[in-house]
């Protein structure tokens, strides 16, 4: 690296430090209870609900799979991530038990 590259990086680093200090000062100056509605809504968990359109789509998928209409009793939204579910499925599938007839 040349000296000019190092000086450029040092300058950028100093500018970034100054920006962080300004942001920290702004954050400290903002009262915790008087926050913006946009800030509090971003931090609050979003409550999702099952709309009638989603129920209709699930009902159609179940009917297509079973070949007849079925009554949907309950629909729950899962808070698990797809990665976590896939990981559990992989682990559970690896514990398969094979049965051999006539071995007992």
Q: What pLDDT, in 10s, does the model give residues 56-87?
A: 898 999 999 998 988 888 887 777 788 888 88
36 in a domain, yes or no?
no
pTM above 0.75, yes or no: no
- DSSP assignment letter at 98: -
Q: Report the domain count for the chain.
A: 2
CA distance 21 to 27: 10
37 in a domain, yes or no?
no
Q: What is the domain extent for residue 24? A: 1-31
Q: What HEC string does 28-53 produce?
A: HHCCCCCCCHHHHHHHCCCCCCCCHH
- 27 and 60 in a single domain? The answer is no
69 in a domain, yes or no?
yes
Q: Looking at residue 45, what is its pLDDT?
A: 60
> 6-10, 21-25, 39-43: which has the minimum mean pLDDT?
39-43
Q: How many residues does the chain have?
A: 104
């Amino acid at each position: 690296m040349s000296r000019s590259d190092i000086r450029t990086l040092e300058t950028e680093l100093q500018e970034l430090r100054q920006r962080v200090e300004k942001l920290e000062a702004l954050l400290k100056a903002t009262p915790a209870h008087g926050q913006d509605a946009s800030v509090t809504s971003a931090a609050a968990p979003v409550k999702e609900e099952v709309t009638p359109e989603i129920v209709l789509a699930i009902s159609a998928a179940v009917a297509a799979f079973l070949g007849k209409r079925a009554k949907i009793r309950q629909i729950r939204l899962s808070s698990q991530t797809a990665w976590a579910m896939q990981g559990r499925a992989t682990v559970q599938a690896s514990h398969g038990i094979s049965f051999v007839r006539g071995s007992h």
